[in-house]
Amino acid sequence: MRRTVSKRKVVLAYSGGLDTSVAVKWLTLERDYEVVALSIDVGQGGDLDDVRERALKAGAVAAEVVDARDEFAENFVVPTIMAHGLYEGKYPLVSSLSRPLIARHLVDAAARYGADAVAHGCTGKGNDQVRFEVAVRTLAPQLDVEAPVREWGFTRDDTIDYAAQHGVEIRATRAKPYSIDQNLWGRAIECGEMEDPWAAPPSDVYEMTLPTATEAREIVLGFEAGRPSTLDGSKLPTVELVDQLNRLVGSYGVGRIDMVENRRVGIKSREVYESPAAAVLMTAHAQLEDLTLERDLAHYKSLVAQRWADLVYDGLWYSPLREALDAFILYSQRFVTGEVRIGLERGSMTVTGRRSEVSLYDFELATYDSRDSFRHSDAEGFVRLFGLGTQTWAKRQLGR
């Protein structure tokens, strides 16, 4: 009697793109796996039913789509706004945020399907492999991690050839060589002409920030305890709000970032991003903090923000330091409630006002008119003592 040995099973994070489509076939043929394709909706757009169909056509034994948009918005985007998480002061962590979420869904699916391994389609040169693998090993150390794209060593043309040889249907062409990653929080575009940091990005790389708006306008964003809650006075669920802001602010051509960034793996790379909602929400949130955070807290929080962004960028979402910093950040947001006014015109965004019921801006302390309540006589002694140390130094050691 023939004995059937059950095959090893792997859950692959499947985007429907060239690499992960070929990975379905490759893991099946070259590594003898049964492949379960898992596609996570983090707001990247496109037809995910179609993505699911293509996974099955490529040879997956099962294919699933999980709508994780709310989870992404609430558990990843909102904390980023509260933290003011900008890697190297510029990048709003778009891809860095989706990886830990996708990793957790891979682990959940692996348990449901009784899989031995999970797989991702990242190369060996980027940050995303770090984020997936560090997350999976923290959440489920018993699972193997497969990284076919890192292993097979194909050029892009080799990958296209492998697809053709094995009948894997793909959409990629040899002409548009960009690597794109997109979610609710923005869009990352790499490769092609942009590999020369001096070369301007070709205009066809942009999608979210095409300046089509013709009239200047003003918007009002409301926050409650640090979380964005209203647009022009109407309450919106976070996914809705971010989505609307992407369209609205994007239509003014606002939200482009062109930078050279330090990857975790030691490579400097030229990166182009589009993140209109992130641009306006982070700017407005920071302005509301200017009004409502006490000085020492504000200054200390900006140090925390930088460390937080580094951790998240480096793939350490599931780490005790990130959790502890988030506890600090959440506590710091108790009084970050109010509204910010932003003017939009083609190519620019300007904050023109802010207000809060719990504002620390005290008119009577700040004013120069007759309503002034500041005790001017306190200033003289304060200033004298404040400068006493440097005054003594200059006198004794510099002979002044």
- Name the residues annotated as catalytic: 19, 99, 128, 179
Nearer to ligand ARG, 133 or 190 (CB): 190
Query: Using the rule CB under 6 A, is 293 a contact of ligand ARG?
Result: no
If binding means CB under 6 A, how many residues of this protein chain bind ligand ARG? 10
Nearest to 68 by CA among 11, 109, 123, 118: 109
* Selected range binding ligand ARG among 177-185, 292-300, 321-329, 339-347, rule: CB under 6 A: 177-185
* Selected range binding ligand ARG among 132-140, 174-182, 216-224, 243-251, rule: CB under 6 A: 174-182
Nearest to 241 by CA among 223, 267, 264: 223
* Selected range binding ligand ARG among 5-13, 38-46, 176-184, 274-282, rule: CB under 6 A: 176-184
From CA 54, how far away is CA 76, in angstroms rounded? 29
How wide is the angle at C-alpha 156 spanned by C-alphas 184 and 118, nearest 5°? 55
Query: Using the rule CB under 6 A, is 19 a contact of ligand ARG?
Result: no
CA dihedral of 68, 74, 78, 83, whole degrees rounded to 10: -100
Query: Using the rule CB under 6 A, is 150 a contact of ligand ARG?
Result: no
* Selected range binding ligand ARG among 150-158, 173-181, 210-218, 252-260, rule: CB under 6 A: 173-181
> Measured between alpha carbons, how far is residue 113 from residues 7, 12, 56, 136, 211 in Å?
13, 12, 16, 16, 46
Task: List the one residue from 80, 96, 238, 292 that touches ligand ARG (CB under 6 A).
Answer: 96
Considering the complex, what minimum distance in angstroms separates the CB of residue 127 from ligand ARG? 4
Query: Using the rule CB under 6 A, is 23 a contact of ligand ARG?
Result: no
Task: List the one residue from 34, 133, 190, 289 that touches ligand ARG (CB under 6 A).
Answer: 190
* Selected range binding ligand ARG among 57-65, 180-188, 301-309, 336-344, rule: CB under 6 A: 180-188
Query: Using the rule CB under 6 A, is 179 a contact of ligand ARG?
Result: yes
Considering the complex, what minimum distance in angstroms separates the CB of residue 264 from ligand ARG? 8
Task: List the one residue from 28, 127, 246, 251 that touches ligand ARG (CB under 6 A).
Answer: 127
Query: Using the rule CB under 6 A, is 181 a contact of ligand ARG?
Result: yes
Phi-psi region at 344: left, alpha or beta (left = phi > 0; alpha = psi -120 to 50):
beta
From CA 156, how far away is CA 167, in angstroms rounded? 17
From CA 312, how far away is CA 86, in angstroms rounded? 10
Nearer to ligand ARG, 119 or 288 (CB): 119
Query: Using the rule CB under 6 A, is 80 a contact of ligand ARG?
Result: no
Q: Which residue has the tokens 């794109």?
A: 180
Query: Using the rule CB under 6 A, is 95 a contact of ligand ARG?
Result: yes
The answer for residues whose C-beta is within 8 angstroms of residue 361's C-beta and 6 or more apart is 291
Query: Using the rule CB under 6 A, is 271 a contact of ligand ARG?
Result: yes
Phi-psi region at 216: left, alpha or beta (left = phi > 0; alpha = psi -120 to 50):
beta
Instruction: Give CA 255 to chain center in angstroms.
Output: 13
Considering the complex, what minimum distance in angstroms separates the CB of residue 131 from ligand ARG? 8
CB 243 within 8 A of CB 73: no
Helix (H) or strand (E) holding 356: none
Query: Using the rule CB under 6 A, is 188 a contact of ligand ARG?
Result: yes
User: Which residues of the chain form contacts with ligand ARG (CB under 6 A)?
Assistant: 95-96, 127-128, 179-181, 188, 190, 271
